[in-house]
Amino acid sequence: KAGVTQTPRYLIKTRGQQVTLSCSPISGHRSVSWYQQTPGQGLQFLFEYFSETQRNKGNFPGRFSGRQFSNSRSEMNVSTLELGDSALYLCASSWLGLAGVEASVRTEQYFGPGTRLTVT
Amino acid sequence: DAKTTQPPSMDCAEGRAANLPCNHSTISGNEYVYWYRQIHSQGPQYIIHGLKNNETNEMASLIITEDRKSSTLILPHATLRDTAVYYCIVRLQTGANNLFFGTGTRLTVIP
């Protein structure tokens, strides 16, 4: 079974520009989460999508957004890039079982290799 | 999710067992202990998880104390490829599907 793939792997952008990163989860996984990793802040949760809906969001400004498509592939977008947005952006997928309307069973997450974004 | 405490770094000789401790004194009864590792510049990799019983898989063993306030991840025969940052995470089995990573333990396997 193919793992989580992320494109592009490396990206250089200029301040003020916007960027879109893509993530393809493991086949059958419907949950996709995004994380940002920087030397100063470590790994931080950005948001999670499940069945094309954002289920949970971390503490990041509105410049960070995402979406999920019907095939579970996900994109995240960062607008008006700042130097501090330089980071490794990681995507993780997991299978979620639904137990009732609200509850869901967490399982382990499988991470992609990440996209290294450099903002100059 | 409960907070965890891990030593910032550890060394281990190649071929020996690596024992990585984690304290989670505020863990609640229905929270699981998860371990991930991150090899340099790669995405984190799931290793193992458990609730109260000891667990073993092809990668590692997880020993959880009886009071569940601490746990130890054991890599039975460490290799150079096990050099990585190891994260201990405590989380509920239901609810939001996000991981809170701490600073982890940087394990260096020495030849």
Q: Express each pLDDT in A60-113 by its tens digit.
A: 999 999 999 999 999 999 999 999 999 999 999 988 766 544 455 667 889 999
Mean of all residue pLDDT scores within chain B:
93
pLDDT digits (tens, 9 = 90+) for A14-53: 999 999 999 999 998 888 999 999 998 999 999 999 889 9
CB contact under 8 A, A106 and B45: no
- Is A108 within 8 Å of B34 (Cβ atoms)? yes
- Is B60 within 8 Å of B74 (Cβ atoms)? yes
Dihedral over Cα of B79, B80, B81, B83: its sign: positive
The torsion defined by the Cα of A104, A3, A34 and A41, in degrees rounded to 10, comes to 120
> Of the candidates A58, A110, A114, which has its C-beta nearest B98's C-beta?
A58
Residue B89 distance to chain A (closest CA, Å): 11
Residues B86-99 have a mean pLDDT of 84
- Is A55 within 8 Å of A48 (Cβ atoms)? yes
pLDDT digits (tens, 9 = 90+) for B6-41: 999 999 999 999 999 999 999 988 889 999 999 988
A11, containing H or E segment: strand A10-13
Q: What's the pLDDT at A5?
A: 97
Question: How many whole angstroms separate alpha carbon A43 and alpha carbon A88?
Answer: 9
Residues in B touching A55 (Cβ below 8 Å): 96-97
